[in-house]
Chain A
Amino acid sequence: MSESKIARLHEGLVSKEFSCRELTEKYIEAVNKDNGALNAYVTVTPETALETASIVDDKIARGEEISMLEGIPMTLKDNISTDGIRTTCCSKILEDYTPIYDATVWKILKAQNAVLLGKTNMDEFAMGSSCETSYFGGAKNPHNINHVAGGSSGGVASAVGGNIAVYGLGSDTGGSIRQPASFCGIVGMKPTYGAVSRYGLIAYASSLDQIGPITTSVEDTAVVYDAISQYDTMDSTSQGRKGESVRSTLKNDIKGMKIGIAREYLEGIRDDVRNAVEEAVEVYRSLGAEIVYFDLPSLKYALPVYYIIACAEASSNLGRYDGIRYGYKAQNYRDVNDMVKKTRSTGFGDEVKRRILLGTYVLSSGYYDAYYKKAQNLRGKIVQSFKKAFEVCDVILAPTVPMTAFENGHAVSDPVETYMTDICTVPVNICGLPGISVPCGFDNKGMPIGMQLIGDSFCESKILNAAWQYEKAAGKFKPAGFGVKL
């Protein structure tokens, strides 16, 4: 099983087995050595990291208590604003943009002296499933660099899976935390909508976006989630965590817990992935959980509903990139309108432009009712069907992705085929539910397979509890051949 790396390093710092400076230097060296192969980081911040490390060392020397995340080297996806540190969304349009304020999640972690190693790669504006729409080229899979790390939080997953960061924060609009975590054989959780502040997260689709942790163990995810799930006055959808620390209930017995399997989730899934999930079902049976089967017929509409709503919101959110206030600005133009058009047309990549166009199309006069309105109604229907499902089970078990990480270059050729890979992850975002991906096996090429546990709103503790028990009984985490050897 995968133990808590954060707890182990915290212990090492407190017991003075190593200093925070030594730990940080080790990670900086590993980033320098392995980032060329993984392309996980797009900006590195070694000076900031070492400055923080010395603050932590001073605190320890003075005998002061330090928090669990204090002095632990970590990373942030490059759509999470960092005051004074370039934040690009991996787009040409924000290539030289430096935020002048911190995202709330970073403010929280910075206050705990989290050691930021740098900002990590992603699909441009979080639009993609392979990280390959990044302006800086895609992040690679630490289990085999000829395969993608997944997306959109591919850089965080590559860095954490390759152990050139202990943990990271990503964002998940339609699976962008869980899918790359699954591809890289690690743990990633998308919290309930409203549980973690999105202030300072560069918006893609505001009714779906959520920040969450990517780690190598379930316990680490719980530690990070406990830290970041706070109510924030700067986010009007913020609620914070409901209830106790999720770490405190992590190791509860799951005898009698009802694990639901929706048959539709297992349709069209590659055999090896389905087998791995079915093996996990047996693990749960052996742990005394009750397995409940049911149907979720509305699932078949989840993917088109997701793309219509996400793109509609994106077309509005990305209207702000006009070259006037920040970001890239085109040269040689006739007038303001021409400048804005040229800025956007040369600043955005193809996938972003396609999604803006689709979003504008579904919101435009004559199409609004047939697409956007209809998709919203169906969203209501999907929400209802999940509410019903949670009347018969505590947690839903499903695959995270219908396949394992594709080879580099495979995803970009056909947009619709690439969208299909999100089929198992988007329902959670549509309904605002929490979902976690946990490694549950490997394919015949050694690429990781992930399974997903989905809970009712604000029931993170239940999915983490179920995930931790599985991990303890049959966890499939395996370190990749990169990064710091601990």
Chain B
Amino acid sequence: MVTKEEIMKIAILSKLSVEDDEIDKLTKDMGEIISFADTINNAADEGVEFDNINNLSNAFREDKVVPSLEREKILANAKDSDDGCFMVKNIMK
């Protein structure tokens, strides 16, 4: 059974905050979803490993310079940018 503490821990790992009024419902939902995932516990999986689908290997292309995206266009989607850079609050004092 998944606990509130575990939910809070994975929320931190996921960079999601869980409010006090959400935690009970979320723990219940996650408990149900995880016990559904638990149905694979008893399945035999010896000797089988999954490598990739359809025996795909990386479809590499020739490594040559091609036109890339324009900096101004990229920055146009950011909420805060300055001097060709994305802006965030300072991370070091």
Contact = CB atoms under 8 A, between A and B. Distances in A.
Interface in A83-120: 97-98, 100-101
Majority secondary structure of chain A interface residues (helix, strand, loop or mixed) = helix
Contacts of A98: 76-77
Interface residues of B, number: 50
A231 B61 CA distance: 11
A319 B16 CA distance: 11
Chain B interface secondary structure, helix, strand, loop or mixed?
loop
Interface string B1-40: 0100011001101111110000000100110111011111
B6 to A, nearest CB: 8
A439 B16 CA distance: 41
Contacts of B74: 100, 325
Given A345-B16, A374-B45, A358 B59 contact: no
B33 A356 contact: no
Interface in A308-337: 308, 315, 319, 322-327, 329, 333, 335-337
A227 interface: no
10 contacts: A304-B39, A308-B40, A329-B79, A335-B89, A337-B15, A341-B17, A344-B14, A354-B26, A370-B41, A383-B53
Contact of B77 (A100, A235, A308, A370): A100
A90 to B, nearest CB: 18
B40 A237 contact: no
Interface in A346-386: 348, 353-354, 356-358, 360-362, 364, 370-371, 374-381, 383-384
B65 interface: no
A98, A324, A370: most-surrounded residue (chain B CB, <10 A): A324
Contact of A415 (B29, B79, B89): B29
Contacts of A379: 50
Count class of interface residues, chain A: 35 or more
Given A324-B86, A336-B88, A361-B10, A301 B43 contact: yes
Contact of B37 (A237, A304, A360): A304
Interface string A150-177: 0000000000000000000000000000
Contacts of B52: 207
Given A194-B56, A305-B40, A361-B34, A335 B79 contact: no
Contacts of A337: 15
B53 A357 contact: no
**For B30, B43, B78, which residue has the most chain A Cβ atoms within 10 angstroms?**
B43
Given A315-B14, A324-B78, A307 B36 contact: yes
